Structure 1
């Protein structure tokens, strides 16, 4: 899968064709659908998170897309993010079925991703090999980087096939953007005591705590989150999703990236 920084990358736009089952595992009640990609003409299965579902909005949809593209840029395995167009014709096919009302209120662009199979949950106390430990250590670092409070012990929001992990569900990422500006961390490379409340419930943090890691491989990849990345991201975000939140996220993360070495130290400090 191409990263946003690749010259040939495009954000797929998908027309929803056929509704499938509602995936009841999520608060946002994501739904499996069949759709066709406008750019390629290829039909495939996707998961849509309706923009008017519980906990979703244009801002939440924007956070999903921004987080997915950042994670891919940092070499995480993320389902291909797409924009799914919900039409009146599609909604009519859902009449009398689950999610009809929320879909009918979500005409137009919605966040979605490709549907991937062959991945399974990691159990709370499941033994991990060295490769998996390193992957979860980097996932812990990603969650702190994007202030993602929604990878909890009871709902880790990642799956594994034994060799790799698949990460998803980031509508609550960039929690700093939801804070009043005067309460926002002025030194985002430092982890505040107030942030420890959600970090203490982070699945990866709990599996990694008590250990120390070399996070330089992770932070060295920050160089790809640059002006080219942000400028291209700004051009592909749906207009309704491009608002003050985008620029808050951009400014905050750029400030953190400027102190990447100190951030690495902080990641280890709170693991002790």
Structure 2
């Protein structure tokens, strides 16, 4: 990304204008099980009130983890409880966050839209079809349990 974006650093703070998108990113990373947006590896660019995230290579590895719990189960986001394990946790903790737009966006994901996500993968990537199907299943289940996901997020941020 060009155009004077800088890398998110520990010195940055989440302004009121950034709060909705920072919360949405936090929920997204929790759902897709992306443990790689942490203080020492932010994978986030900032320009004024704008945020851009990138590098999701560790997302959707949930089926490889022993003892994994879905993000809609109590303790499913335990890994996000420690400051530093996600760049936005400390800045979101204790803030008044309106989760309704996040809930509505996730609840509004249709099965067809989720299927579209799978179908945009290049045909040359046939060896990842199983992983893509498992990722789509996780997205679908998170959508179906979005209220419980948001309760777990609120617990982590309380």
TM-score, L = length of structure 2: 0.83
Please tell me whether residue 197 in structure 1 is matched to residue 79 in structure 2.
yes
Moved over 6 A (4+): none
Task: Find the partner of 2:106 among 222, 227, 230.
Answer: 222
Alpha-carbon contact 2:80-2:89 (below 8 Å) kept: no
Judging changes above 3 Å, is the alpha-carbon distance between structure 1 residues 260 and 161 closer, same or farther for their aligned structure 2 residues?
Answer: same
Aligned residues: 154
CA distance in 2, matches of 1:139, 1:168: 11
- 1:12-31 to 2 correspondences below 5 Å: none
RCO greater where, 1 or 2, for CA within 8 Å and sep 6 or more?
Answer: 2
Task: Find the partner of 1:126 among 2, 6, 12.
Answer: 12
Please tell me whether residue 247 in structure 1 is matched to residue 130 in structure 2.
no
Task: Find the partner of 1:141 among 20, 27, 51.
Answer: 27
When the two chains are superposed, the root-mean-square deviation of aligned CA atoms in Å is 2.2
More helix by share: 2
Alpha-carbon contact 1:138-1:218 (below 8 Å) kept: yes
More strand by share: 1
- Residues 79-138 of structure 1: per-residue CA shift (max 9 Å, x gap): xxxxxxxxxxxxxxxxxxxxxxxxxxxxxxxxxxxx433211233133442112332222
